[in-house]
Structure 1
Amino acid sequence: MAARHQPNAAKGRGATGNRAGRFARDEREAFDDGWPGDDEEAGTSAPATIVRADPARRLISRNQSPDIPFDASINPYRGCEHGCPYCLDGDTPILMADGRHRPLRKLQVGDIIIGTQRDGWYRRYVPTRVRAHWSSRKPAFRVTLADGTVLNASSDHRFLTERGWKHVTPPVVRGEQRPYLTGNNKLMGTGRFSAQPVHDTDYRRGYLTGMLRGDGHLGRYIYDRPGRGPSKVYRCRLALKDADGLQRSHDYLHEFGVATKRFVFQQAAAGRAEIAGLRASSRQAFETVHGLIDWPTDPSGSWRKGFVAGLFDAEGHRAGNNLRISNSDPAILGALVTCLDHLGFTHCREHGPRPGGRDMTVIRLVGGLGEQMRFIHTVDPAIRRKCSPAGIAIKSEADLGIRTVERLPGERELFDITTGTGDFIANGVVSHNCFARPSHSYLDLSPGLDFETRIFYKENAAALLESELRKPGYQPTPISLGINTDAYQPVEKRLRVTRDILEVLAAHRHPVSLLTKSRLILRDMDILGDMAADNLVSAAVSITTLDASLKRILEPRTASPAARLDTVRQLAAAGVPTSVMAAPVIPAITDHELEAIVQAASEHGARGAGYVLLRLPWEVKQIFRDWLAAHFPDRAAHVMSLIQQSRGGRDYDAAWGQRLTGTGKFADLIAQRFALACRKNGLNRSARPNLTTEHFRLPPRTGDQLPLL
């Protein structure tokens, strides 16, 4: 198979150029990793490798995507020097960190939203950041809950129920099993979100009425000036410690023609924040404001929402599951109660003394977090510190039982995101996000040469892992090591990050599986052999091709095919359950080798085999096109045609259940050939190694004193 080399392709690298990532990159420190490269020729120039410590707060990543066979993973490195080139309806409202909601289609990478995190006995709402955002077209299902909440999602999407995460529908492949929604399930959360108000003229009038009557000062004074007669003074003043409430009031007053000046009402002192204020002193401003806050004879719904929002900003407070508004003016309290009744909120009245001796009446909202969020969404206060559910446990009295799950006609554009917590709040219920999107761009790495030459390593990984394994309530589950990026990068020879992680896992007798292209895994045979004796480890070696010349341009800085097969042999001989991954299978370039790879795997002691059809998400598709143009220009169009035939007419289809193997005639033929080759060579006869957690332990810390006998 002849390949044509482009003269300006980077020597010893897979990508032909350095395409810009989606996000800015920071500066990095150069470091010579000393990697010679088995296939590199002495004296040739190649882009230098740059290595930088990547300080991390946590090491174990969690994943529950249905077509990824692991729940926990560790990636010691970001970027890869080897040189190898779910979803909801877009209108679904997503809970933001400030308590508002925004349609899923309008989210952006970097937005801070609300996810969840387990804390002791409870799962609690916490802020999290959107790390990736994408869309795809696929069949959709309408999930209707007992309280009327409606969610349009793909069949593979998962929601949190009282019995754990469950998919929307059963698996489509006969014989497979996965938990899915039934009529006996109840989703977790507060239930459907309410519409947010339009800030029209009536809303703005209502807001100023609540704010200024609740916490403002509006006065007109007459005093005598010696020799000049009486003088009139007009004062309009508002002072708040929250800048967002003050800013909204300033903007609304300006829209009504009232010019205000900012001033410091109270200087900051020990234990006391600065309080800023607005003021206007003209007669025109006084009369305009006086007219704005007059009680309307027939208030509109929009005015009522604005009034409640303004009064809540002025004199409301929220702590945990309690939301209250305090006041002593009967007219204000009467208007508040009328508005809450009109908006359908249940409330109760409480009385208590106020500092200074004056009685205070408190109107408290009834109904828990669900009603609080409905209140916040319905009236939209300006002061957002009072609106976030962060820290509150997920407990709900809402009736979120599954009523129906119905298939919608045709296909729809559906959206999904990746978040820091692995989930998000979709229309009031906890929704799982997708795992392992292309990560190099939002990790400050170009998807091109930067990804191959800018390597980050997890600093102090062993200590981080030790800390996480010792956390109270930690439940061991097999960890997959090096999934996004090979754990045996060339720099591992010196940095030994993966070795340190394995030593911690071995000391705790914690199960682990590894996937690598590198022969360097054999360095750790002392650890792996020991763990294999207790059924604590499995390994998979990736073999893309058996052709050394093709490997030279496809994966230029990886071990040769012969070296990888020998790695399989040595792992298997040491008792480590070992499989081979033919990944990726590239149409018209490597697919003809599928049977030979499976046969070679069997001959070298592998127990199983798998394959992945070439995936081209995000920027990777253009990097691969560049690679084709540089090395196989004569067949580039044919290769892309076969890929698109297997991806629904596109370069890539991220739909769960088919993103790894594709669809269509070519993809079906690959699947049939692979299954036949495995049967012929005796692979995959038994289930994937089921690693045990029964040996998990917490060994004494270094320096711990042994107990006295």
Structure 2
Amino acid sequence: MRWSSQELQTEQVGALPGLARLNNLVRSVQTPEFAGITFHEILCKSALNHVPGQSAMPFGYTINPYRGCSHACTYCFARTTHQYLDLDAGKDFDSEIIVKVNVAEVLRKELAKPTWGRHPVALGTNTDPYQRAEGRYRLMPGIIAALADSKTPISILTKGTLLRRDLDLLVEASEHVPVDLAMSIAIYDDELQQSVEPGTPTTKARLATVTAVRERGLDCGVFLMPILPFLTDTRAHLDEALRRAKAAGATSVLYSGLNLKPAVKEWYLLWLAREHPELVGRYRELYAGGQYAPKEYRTWLAARIKPLIRAHGLERGVVDPATGGLRSSALPTSPERMPVSASRTPSPSPASSSGRGLGPVRGPSLETGPGAIRWARGAEVPRSLIAAELPPDLAPTLF
């Protein structure tokens, strides 16, 4: 990376509180290509993050190649993680990006250990692995290769259209391990989307990425998360969102409401006061009881969106190949405890104007046992990566 002329001096780095903790800091870099953003390159000591057994998350391990995210989504629940470095959850989260430059090398060593059980690994659960920095640092190809070579199931959730760069790798990986992909697309009003998610690709570009994934024979879900009260929870917006997701080829849709942790709430309300001041009072009232909207609102939202999801044929999707569905005490998270089928039943592909589908689904699948959580009508709960926006009481009632 020819950034040596952009490297910051040590005293400049020291001016940032919290970075002194990064005793593995290699250098901090600014470049005109990423105006207003500083990349802090570090040598990480570990790549895999173990998810506690009591967690509601449907995966055992995660990988975060980056900390902070230039997507700058005002509502992002991960903003609070920057406070661990004494950086703020607002502007610093968007512009002070920690880059684990050796993450693929460290990951490969961890996966080579005899004790590694090929547990499902998720990316995109905290900060986005395909944010703009990935175009420069190219960490994901090495991560995907390491996981595939070790026969480790892969799940990726992203807003980044850069995912398309790695489709060859992901298709190849799917021939050997379960690969699960999902695009996060929450807002289908272009003006609102660019206001609340200023660093992200457009909704149109993300939907085109869903189509590109499906054309390569892989399943791709859409995460309609978070739904913003009084902004994107209208029947018209939700119906349009689901219509466009279906037309793009999405195999399923997950939704959730908005989670406003204290520091995130402060940042989000600052944006709301600038863009929609008439809603500030309503939000303060709705979230007066904590980071989640009250159960009454969540029940109302579920009653509104469930019939729409069903009407668009997105309620079933595919069972997540990495976990077989939602995490539960009865649902194992290790491939050794999951029966693997020799072939995978393709998900229905959306018909094109010529009447032909987008092609077969590739790769093996993992079937769930009798203990799998089920939703209405007895169908298995689709998709993985239940976002951290979801309060515990919502996990079994996604649709």
State TM-score, norm by structure 1.
0.40
What's the offset of the Cα at 1:446?
Answer: 1.4
The SS at the match of 1:634 is helix
**Partners in 1 of 2:191 and 2:118 — Cα distance?**
43
Aligned to 2:167: 525
Aligned to 2:83: 441
Aligned to 1:29: 28
Aligned to 2:71: 82
Cα pair distance change 1:444/1:523, threshold 3 Å: farther
What's the offset of the Cα at 1:682?
Answer: 1.2
**Partners in 2 of 1:82 and 1:575 — Cα distance?**
28
* Residue identity in the other structure for 2:229: P
What's the offset of the Cα at 1:483?
Answer: 1.2
Say if 2:221 and 2:317, in contact at 8 Å, map to a contact too: no
Say if 2:259 and 2:291, in contact at 8 Å, map to a contact too: yes
**Partners in 2 of 1:622 and 1:483 — Cα distance?**
22
Say if 1:33 and 1:49, in contact at 8 Å, map to a contact too: no
**Partners in 1 of 2:84 and 2:32 — Cα distance?**
24
**Partners in 2 of 1:65 and 1:573 — Cα distance?**
37
What's the offset of the Cα at 1:68?
Answer: 1.7
Larger Rg: 1
Tell me, yes or no, if structure 1 residue 54 matches structure 2 residue 54: no
Q: Greater strand share, 1 or 2? A: 1
Matches within 5 A, 1:545-584: 545-584=187-226
The SS at the match of 1:440 is helix
Say if 2:79 and 2:93, in contact at 8 Å, map to a contact too: no
**Partners in 2 of 1:30 and 1:48 — Cα distance?**
11
* Residue identity in the other structure for 2:38: I
Query: More relative contact order in 1 or in 2 (CA 8 Å, sep 6+)?
Result: 1
* Residue identity in the other structure for 1:532: S
**Partners in 2 of 1:605 and 1:534 — Cα distance?**
24
Q: Render the CA deviation track for 1:206-227: whole Å, top value 9, x for unaligned.
A: xxxxxxxxxxxxxxxxxxxxxx
* Residue identity in the other structure for 2:73: C
Out of 280, 291, 295, the residue aligned to residue 652 of structure 1 is 291
What's the offset of the Cα at 1:65?
Answer: 4.5
Say if 2:69 and 2:95, in contact at 8 Å, map to a contact too: yes
The SS at the match of 2:303 is helix
Q: What is the percentage of aligned positions where both structures have the same residue? A: 33
Tell me, yes or no, if structure 1 residue 690 matches structure 2 residue 321: yes
Tell me, yes or no, if structure 1 residue 670 matches structure 2 residue 314: no
Aligned to 1:626: 270
Say if 2:38 and 2:96, in contact at 8 Å, map to a contact too: yes
Q: 5+ residue gaps in structure 1?
A: 1-22, 36-46, 86-434, 654-661, 696-709
Q: 5+ residue gaps in structure 2?
A: 1-15, 21-26, 324-334, 341-399
**Partners in 2 of 1:33 and 1:616 — Cα distance?**
33
Q: Greater helix share, 1 or 2? A: 2
**Partners in 1 of 2:141 and 2:284 — Cα distance?**
39
Say if 1:583 and 1:611, in contact at 8 Å, map to a contact too: yes
Say if 1:33 and 1:490, in contact at 8 Å, map to a contact too: no
Say if 1:76 and 1:497, in contact at 8 Å, map to a contact too: yes
Aligned to 1:70: 59
Aligned to 1:493: 135
What's the offset of the Cα at 1:680?
Answer: 0.8
**Partners in 2 of 1:65 and 1:641 — Cα distance?**
31
What's the offset of the Cα at 1:610?
Answer: 0.8
Say if 1:492 and 1:498, in contact at 8 Å, map to a contact too: yes
**Partners in 2 of 1:436 and 1:55 — Cα distance?**
22
The SS at the match of 2:309 is helix
Cα pair distance change 1:493/1:687, threshold 3 Å: closer
The SS at the match of 1:591 is coil
* Residue identity in the other structure for 1:538: D
What's the offset of the Cα at 1:691?
Answer: 3.0
Matches within 5 A, 1:469-508: 469-508=111-150
Cα pair distance change 1:507/1:56, threshold 3 Å: same
What's the offset of the Cα at 1:437?
Answer: 9.1
Say if 1:76 and 1:482, in contact at 8 Å, map to a contact too: no
Aligned length: 300
Aligned to 2:154: 512
What's the offset of the Cα at 1:681?
Answer: 1.2
**Partners in 1 of 2:90 and 2:305 — Cα distance?**
31
What's the offset of the Cα at 1:452?
Answer: 0.3
RMSD of aligned Cα (Å):
2.3
**Partners in 2 of 1:534 and 1:663 — Cα distance?**
44
**Partners in 2 of 1:516 and 1:665 — Cα distance?**
30
* Residue identity in the other structure for 2:201: A
Aligned to 2:386: none
Cα pair distance change 1:31/1:60, threshold 3 Å: same
Cα pair distance change 1:533/1:673, threshold 3 Å: farther
* Residue identity in the other structure for 1:76: P
Moved over 6 A (4+): none
**Partners in 2 of 1:535 and 1:30 — Cα distance?**
36
Say if 2:156 and 2:182, in contact at 8 Å, map to a contact too: yes
